[in-house]
Amino acid sequence: MFMTKYDIAIEIDARGSFCPGPMMELIKAIRQSEVGEFLSLLSEDEGTRNDVPAWINKAKHELVEIIYEDGYDRYIVKKLH
Amino acid sequence: MQRIVIVGGGFSGINVANKISMKTKRKDVSIILIEPREDNVYEPFYLYWSFRKDPLKKFHIPIRKVLRKRVQHIPALATKIDTKNKSVDLSNGETIRYDYLIIATGARMAEEKVGAYEKDNVHHFYLTKATTELQEALKNFNGGTIVISPSTVPYKCPPAPMEFAFMVDRYLRKRKIRDKSTIKFLYPLLRPYPERRVAAKIQELYDKRGIEFVEFFNFERVDKENNKIVSLEGDEIDYDLLVLIPPHEGHKVIIEAGLGDREGFVPTDRFTLKVKDQDNIYAIGDCTNLPVSKSGAVSHFSAPTVAKNLLLEMEGKEPTEKYDGFTICFVVTSPRRSLLLFFSYAYPPKKFGLHNLFIYGLVKKAFKIAYFKAILRGYL
């Protein structure tokens, strides 16, 4: 598990999967998590950079941070409701 | 003599059984296929069958007719898989021992999780009985709002609900009630198909035909009392007729054997197709958790890898054959037109032949003949 200032409840490693894989994995994890928990999504798919922030905005959760790692991105998401 | 047992006799099970049969000798290997149904169904036909009542024999074929003679078909349900003792219990009371097991159980349509299919305006086209009910509902539909949506991802044949929207548009035009009807296609993503260029083409066709696309709609529940479908994102959409793809999950026998993930799909090595953490078990088709579409095309392109690796293992060698995730997909945009896509683990869907939709429409129809005559029988 990634060591961060956030207490990550679920980490989703969607590297190696194309859209809609990473986003659908995130949505599944959102369904399983509790309000207030942080989730971490790992994706190397370029489409995710557009789709995930747009979905989080639509679904009214919080995209806390995107961390650009070596060859992939880490999205920190907080479930708000 | 070694015994290979295949649990599940849909397209994947029959196809891989035939392929192994062609590559082995009767004296060396016995092959047993466990499948309770007597018929194989050409499932892509459900999409067309929703709109016309062709006889079942047009897309059903007796399994015995397409299974090679030396493959033994046991018409029973596998009720328990015991990986420790390498055996499978059957609904007829028999217990079959195996040296190698191939899981080809497919995906289960978890209709009970929707809790609304008992209503006469909530339907789907993924099973024979459900499709006959949808046929009636469409026949009795005289205008209003038709809503089409997946319930969960993954589901079999990703373009199917989007294709259904095209088909229902044409059907309503033919019945001259299109102007009294609204068609809404709901989808979990920002666009009507994962790949952008394909999505743009589909959106263009939807605009032309007046099909409304609703983005970011992740199904949450059906409010069947008020005829509304509700999303995880908080949206509610009214319907007069709802066509909802049922949730897909793994079968009970897989879950109870401890061979499934949280959705009951079998964790499978994406390259060798060997079941993870199991020595002599392979998996193929919709029962797997492979990061590709759940479709017959994936089964078709991965079957040679399963057959080859299993035979390598039987010779005491390492299973080195790799499936690269290659598959193709026809996207129907009308009864005679479709797009062709191809993709693999290494690249996302690429479109092909968008300029010549009519030809690919014909190819898709001709494919049914090839399916029964050659592909199912393991020749291709």
| Residue ranges covered by each domain of chain A | 1-39+51-64
* Structure token pair of residue A35: 């309000």
pLDDT given at position B360? 60
Categorize the per-residue pLDDT at B116 as very low, low, confident or very high, splitting at 50, 70 and 90: very high
Categorize the per-residue pLDDT at B329 as very low, low, confident or very high, splitting at 50, 70 and 90: confident
Residue ranges of chain B that CATH labels 3.50.50.60: 2-107+250-314, 111-247
End-to-end CA distance of chain B: give it in Å, rounded. 27
B197 or B250, higher pLDDT: B250
On the question of pLDDT at B123 being above 90, the answer is yes
In this complex, which of A16, A20, A54 lies closest to B188 when CB atoms are compared?
A20
Categorize the per-residue pLDDT at B357 as very low, low, confident or very high, splitting at 50, 70 and 90: low
**Treating both helix axes as pointing N-terminal to C-terminal, what angle do B196-209 and B160-174 enclose, rounded to 10 degrees?**
20
pLDDT given at position A3? 59
Alpha-helical runs (H) found in chain A? 21-32, 46-59
Contact A47 B216 (CB under 8 A): no
- Order of strands, sheet of B350-352, starting from the edge strand that comes earlier in the sequence: B327-334, B337-343, B350-352
Which residue of B152, B162, B190 to mutate against A (max A Cβ within 10 Å)?
A: B190
Q: Which of residues 16-35 of A touch B (CB under 8 A)?
A: 16-21, 23-24, 27, 30-31
Tell me what the mean pLDDT of segment B116-136 comes to.
Answer: 97
Provide, rounded to the nearest whole percent, the portion of chain B with pLDDT above 90.
78
* Cα→Cα distances B354→A38, B309, B357, Å: 42, 37, 6
Are B244 and B149 in contact by the 8 Å Cβ rule? The answer is yes
DSSP 8-class letter at B374 = I
In this complex, which of A19, A30, A55 lies closest to B216 when CB atoms are compared?
A55
Give the separation between CA B12 and CA B107, rounded to whole angstroms. Answer: 12
Among B44-48, B94-98, B121-125, the least confident range: B44-48
On the question of pLDDT at B362 being above 90, the answer is no
Tell me what the mean pLDDT of segment B17-46 comes to.
Answer: 95
pLDDT given at position B27? 93
Backbone angles phi, psi at B2, to 5 degrees: -100, 150
Q: Residues 6 or more apart from B10 whose CB is under 8 A from it?
A: B35, B40, B41, B104, B106, B285, B286
In this complex, which of B232, B291, B345 lies closest to A27 when CB atoms are compared?
B232
pLDDT given at position B365? 67
Return the CATH fold of B111-247: FAD/NAD(P)-binding domain (3.50.50)
Tell me what the mean pLDDT of segment B120-146 comes to.
Answer: 97
Query: How many other CB atoms are there within 10 angstroms of residue B54's CB atom?
Result: 11
Whether A19 is catalytic is: yes
* Structure token pair of residue A13: 């490693």
- pTM (2 decimals)? 0.92
Nearest-Cα distance to chain A for B298, in Å, is: 16
- Considering A9, A19, A59, A64, which one is annotated as catalytic? A19
Contact A18 B233 (CB under 8 A): no
Q: Which residues of chain A have pLDDT under 50?
A: none
Nearest-Cα distance to chain A for B152, in Å, is: 9
End-to-end CA distance of chain A: give it in Å, rounded. 24
3-state SS of chain B: helix, strand, coil percent to 5?
30, 30, 40
Among B96-105, B230-239, B328-337, the least confident range: B328-337
Backbone angles phi, psi at B10, to 5 degrees: -80, -155
On the question of pLDDT at B336 being above 90, the answer is no
pLDDT given at position A47? 83
DSSP 8-class letter at A41 = E
B97 CB burial (10 A radius; 0-12, 13-18, 19+): exposed
Element (H, E) at B219: strand B219-223
pLDDT given at position B347? 78
Return the CATH fold of B2-107+250-314: FAD/NAD(P)-binding domain (3.50.50)
pLDDT one-digit tens code per residue, B64-93:
999 999 999 999 999 999 999 999 999 999
What is the complex's ipTM, to 2 decimals?
A: 0.85
Question: Interface of chain B against chain A, CB under 8 Å?
Answer: 153-154, 188-190, 194-196, 215-216, 218, 232-234, 291, 343, 345, 348
